[in-house]
Chain A
Amino acid sequence: DAGVIQSPRHEVTEMGQEVTLRCKPISGHNSLFWYRQTMMRGLELLIYFNNNVPIDDSGMPEDRFSAKMPNASFSTLKIQPSEPRDSAVYFCASSHDRGGNQPQHFGDGTRLSIL
């Protein structure tokens, strides 16, 4: 079975540019999560969706970040304008929302470098 698919795997861009990260969750999963991982702060939840609806975006660092889930098989995380401090690995995860104890399955991440 295909796991969570993220693209691109690596992104290098100059500050001020718009960055769009993409995620395809596991088929049949109805919860989707975006995380960011840095050396300083570890792995942090940015936002999560349930049935395509954003449920908790309290982890989104600021208005430059936005996330959408137009359908059950696709989500984007956008940064506009990007800044060097946004450099990190961004992970997407998905899970089945059955009873609230289902494990999350992660993609291999997008390594983002803002110059």
Chain B
Amino acid sequence: DAKTTQPTSMDCAEGRAANLPCNHSTISGNEYVYWYRQIHSQGPQYIIHGLKNNETNEMASLIITEDRKSSTLILPHATLRDTAVYYCIVRVYGGSQGNLIFGKGTKLSVKP
């Protein structure tokens, strides 16, 4: 699976949009982009995933560039409870279910 690159940490003011970038320059055509987050002492939580079109759900929006080499997770109105480590993962569609490889992620701190 392709590797991803994320900033180590980011800060965001409460109520503002949090934009978390991810580079996946070697992504293959059959690989999806997944986002998970892990709040302290809890298990990873699925947020959103996409292939090439932008996606939105009740938690976040996922913007994937046209060349698919990078993406941005957007939390439209960050709250203190969004403070967590956010993981960007690429995974083969239809491939082994086990191919969910977590990197170090981005530690997002939402501040009042």
Q: Measuring CB to CB, which residues of chain A are less than 8 angstroms from any residue of chain B?
A: 4, 31, 33, 42-45, 48, 50, 55-56, 59, 91, 93, 95, 97, 99-101, 103-109
**Contact, CB under 8 Å: A56 / B98:** yes
Contact B100 A45 (CB under 8 A): yes
Q: How far is the CA of A103 from the CA of B89 in the complex (A)?
A: 11
- A103 contact set on B, CB distance < 8 A: 34, 46, 49
Measured CB to CB, the residues of B under 8 A from A are 32, 34, 41-46, 49, 91-98, 100-104
The answer to whether A91 touches B43 (Cβ under 8 A) is yes
Task: List 27 contacting pairs A-B, 8 Å CB cutoff, sorted by A.
Answer: A33-B97, A33-B100, A42-B103, A42-B104, A43-B44, A44-B102, A45-B100, A45-B101, A48-B98, A59-B98, A91-B43, A91-B44, A93-B43, A93-B44, A99-B93, A100-B94, A100-B97, A101-B32, A103-B34, A104-B46, A104-B97, A104-B100, A107-B43, A108-B41, A108-B42, A109-B42, A109-B43
* CB-defined contacts of B43 to chain A, threshold 8 Å: 4, 91, 93, 106-109
List chain B residues, Cβ under 8 A from A59: 98
Interface residue SS majority, chain A: strand
Total of A-B residue pairs, C-beta within 8 Å: 57
Are B45 and A42 neighbours in the complex by a CB distance under 8 Å? Answer: no
Residue with the greatest number of chain B CB neighbours at <10 A, chosen from A50, A104, A108: A104
